[in-house]
Amino acid sequence: MRTVPVAYILWLFLGLLGAHRFYCNRVGTGILWALTAGLGMIGWLVDLFLVPGMVRRANADTRLRDGLSRVPAGGLPRCATLETNDPRARQGRLRVALAPGHRVLYCTHCGAPMQIPVPDIGKHFACPTCHYVVIAPG
């Protein structure tokens, strides 16, 4: 897990090269920072306030990726099969097997299904397909 103090140390000493952005998995803007010296130091100064949010987002993405990789797609117990009105469901390509104690959440950006444990409802999740962050409704 990433930590805010480490991100601030990287920001202070290597921030003009975008090291803190690479640390927080923001490769695109990290390259931009490296090529423009932190957007002429203005972006580097703005990042002073943005670092905690970048660390939280990177940690949430990592937790989601780790959580989804622990649940094998074909190895889920079949306690229910959910059909939707999505056109892919009529073509037989969208069937979601629910694990016990889970709900299915559909990304509001791309429509991809993901399984959310019931105790985690109300938390932020990133879609495994498009990485759009959604809140699991209660």
All structural domains of the chain with their residue ranges: 4-68, 76-135
Question: pLDDT band at 41, cuts 50/70/90?
Answer: very high
First-to-final CA distance of the chain: 27
- Give the three-state DSSP class for 30: helix
Residues 113 and 94: their CA atoms lie apart, in Å, by 9
Tokens of 69: 């990789």
Q: How far apart are CA 15 and CA 9, in angstroms?
A: 9
Between CA 33 and CA 11 the distance in angstroms is: 11
* Planar angle of CA 36, 131, 27, nearest 5 degrees: 20
> What are the residues whose beta carbons fall under 8 Å from the beta carbon of 2, sequence distance 6 or more?
23, 24, 55, 58, 59, 62
pLDDT in tens, 74-105: 443 333 333 344 444 444 444 455 666 777 77
pLDDT of residue 85: 45
Could you read off the pLDDT of 9-34 as tens digits, one per residue? 999 999 999 999 999 999 999 999 99
% of the chain residues with pLDDT over 90: 38
